[in-house]
Amino acid sequence: MMDILGKPATMAMVSTSNTALPFKRKRSRCLIDCVGNATGDLLPFKDVTKSKVISCAMEWAELNGNEGELAGEIIGKDGEVLPDVKFQEHGYHRHCYNRFTDVSKIARARTKKQNTGK
C-alpha cells in the first residue's frame, strides 16, 4: 500500500526498540568495553552505576587482563578517577557493565593472580 506521497507503506512500520533511552544524546563510547562485541544502546551512567564501576575499577586495577587495562584507563594509581574520564559524556553496554561489575569474576581473577603471579 502506498500513501499519497508515494512512500512505501513499510516506512511507517520502522519499529523502535523498547529499551530506547528516554533521551537521545549520542554517547561517544562505552567506558567499560570489556566484552568486545557488545551490542545495543549505550546507557547513561547514574550515580549508583558510576560508583559501582569506580569501586570495581579499583579492584580490577590490581589485576591483569582486559578489565585490568580498562580499569587503568579509568582510575589512577591513587584510586582517583582520571581527570579525562568523563562519565557523563560516555555510557556503557549493559553486557559490559554486568561483566565488569561481576564480583565472582573479580574474585576468580584475584585467586588466579595469587596462584600464578599473573
Q: Please, which residue, 43 or 58, has the CB nearer to Zn ion? A: 43
For Zn ion, which is the closer residue by CB, 41 or 106? 41
Residue nearest to Zn ion (CB): 30
Nearest distance, CB of residue 35 and Zn ion, angstroms: 6
Q: Which is nearer to Zn ion, 34 or 61 (CB)?
A: 34
Tell me the closest approach of the beta carbon of residue 13 to Zn ion, in angstroms.
30
DSSP letters, the chain, are -B-TT--BGGGGG----TT--SS-PPP--BTT--SSS--SPPEEP-HHHHHHHHHHHHHHTTS-SHHHHHHHHHB-TTSPBPTT--GGG-EE-HHHHHHHT-HHHHHHHHHHHHHH--
- For binding to Zn ion (CB under 5 A), which residues are involved? 30, 33, 38, 93, 96
